[in-house]
């Protein structure tokens, strides 16, 4: 996003109190492997929630359950008080790998969901152009993905998800494939973009600093089979700077909670490995 765009954005008015996503005792098995033991939580409308946890604990599985790509083995997942039975236009998903079609221009990639939905060409382009502008891609509408940097490709993927006008934006490690510098720019951008988008956002991340910079709440998952072991509210205004001592205090708090869990997961893994050899 350009500096100019960032400046004119209004301040975010905070999360609402109406539940948007509700998980009730969600359990997930893959075959006979229990990936998720018992997840219950409520994510309110316009909240930005980050989900963090040891590797392989079930973060993506939880996101895919919300997206409707996976079905819960037990329990219920509700959006707007309705049971999730599959993917829907009310949810937009952005993956770690920039899923763009190389033979389509930036604009065509951004309008793809709208084209499938049957939105008239002109309206689809207007909607996509708005989000391309807000993600700093004005002037690149006719470029092809091969000519874009990783950060720009991810912006196209975010613009495409937002053009669809979803109520919920699901981000699966959106900065995972980016270099540190680009990632830092994207985090700043996302803080501003979120003000404009005013959507409920759920983001999976491995990075504590990303989580505390962006989220209203950080849900920390246990090692597999996952449970929520902590729900940390980050009560600081946006945009947040990692050098701010208050942000650092939250970073330390989440890191301490997560480290204990990662230690447990590592010990368990070593014991399993020792038992096999």
Ligand X SMILES: Nc1ncnc2c1ncn2[C@@H]1O[C@H](COP(=O)(O)OP(=O)(O)OP(=O)(O)O)[C@@H](O)[C@H]1O
Q: Summarize as ranges the residues that interact with ligand X (CB under 6 A).
A: 30, 33, 35, 53, 55-61, 224
CB of 53 to ligand X, least distance (A): 6
Q: How far is the CB of 86 from ligand X (least distance, A)?
A: 16
Q: Is the CB of residue 39 less than 8 Å from the CB of residue 87?
A: no
CB of 62 to ligand X, least distance (A): 7
What is the phi/psi pair of residue 94, to 5°? -120, 125
Q: Which is nearer to ligand X, 163 or 209 (CB)?
A: 209
Please say which residue, 35 or 107, places its beta carbon nearer to ligand X. 35
In angstroms, what is the minimal distance from the CB of 173 to ligand X? 7
Residue 50 contacts residue 211 (beta carbons within 8 Å): yes
Question: For residue 127, with 0-12 CB atoms within 10 Å meaning exposed, 13-18 middle and 19 or more buried, which class applies?
Answer: buried
Residue closest to 208 by CA, chosen among 243, 250, 245:
250
Pairing of strands 91-94, 82-83: unpaired
Residue closer to ligand X (CB basis): 49 or 134: 49
Least distance (Å) between residue 265 CB and ligand X: 10
Among residues 187 and 220, whose Cβ is nearest to ligand X? 220
As measured in angstroms, the least distance from the Cβ of 59 to ligand X is 4
Nearer to ligand X, 112 or 171 (CB): 171
Among 201, 115, 189, residue whose Cα is nearest residue 152: 189
For residues 76 and 21, is the Cβ–Cβ distance under 8 A? Answer: no
Give whichever of 104 and 262 is closer to ligand X, judged by the CB atom.
Answer: 262
Spatial distance between the Cα atoms of 277 and 270, rounded to a whole number of angstroms:
11
Least CB distance to ligand X at residue 99 (A): 16
Kindly give, in sequence order, each residue whose CB lies less than 8 Å from that of residue 263, ignoring residues fewer than 6 positions away.
Answer: none
In the bound state with ligand X, the residue whose beta carbon lies nearer, of 61 and 200, is 61
Beta strand residue intervals within the chain, DSSP E: 19-30, 33-44, 48-52, 74-79, 82-83, 91-94, 168-172, 200-204, 217-221, 226-233
């Amino acid at each position: 996003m350009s500096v100019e765009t960032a400046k004119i954005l209004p301040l975010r008015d905070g999360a609402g109190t109406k539940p948007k996503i509700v998980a009730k005792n969600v359990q997930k098995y893959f075959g006979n492997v229990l990936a998720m033991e018992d997840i219950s939580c409520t994510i309110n409308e316009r909240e930005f929630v980050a989900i963090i946890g040891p590797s392989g604990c079930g973060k993506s599985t939880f996101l895919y359950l919300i997206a409707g790509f996976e079905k819960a083995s037990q329990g219920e997942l509700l959006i707007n008080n309705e049971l999730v039975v599959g993917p829907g236009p009310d949810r937009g998903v952005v993956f770690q790998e920039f899923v763009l079609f190389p033979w389509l221009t930036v604009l065509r990639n951004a309008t793809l969901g709208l084209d499938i939905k049957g939105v008239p060409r002109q309206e689809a382009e207007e909607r996509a152009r708005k989000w391309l502008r807000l993600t700093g891609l004005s002037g690149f509408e006719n470029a092809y993905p091969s000519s874009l940097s990783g950060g720009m490709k991810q912006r196209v993927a975010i613009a495409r998800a937002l053009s669809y006008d979803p109520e919920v934006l699901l981000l699966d490690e959106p900065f995972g494939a980016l270099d540190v510098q680009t990632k830092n720019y994207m985090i700043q951008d996302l803080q501003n973009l979120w003000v404009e988008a005013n959507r409920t956002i759920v983001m999976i991340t491995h990075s504590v600093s990303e989580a505390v910079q962006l989220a209203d709440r950080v849900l920390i998952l246990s090692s597999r089979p996952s449970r929520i072991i902590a729900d940390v509210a980050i009560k600081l205004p946006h945009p947040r700077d990692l050098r701010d001592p208050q942000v650092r205090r939250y970073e330390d708090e989440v890191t301490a909670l997560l480290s204990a869990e990662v230690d447990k997961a590592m010990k368990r893994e070593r014991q399993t490995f020792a038992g096999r050899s």
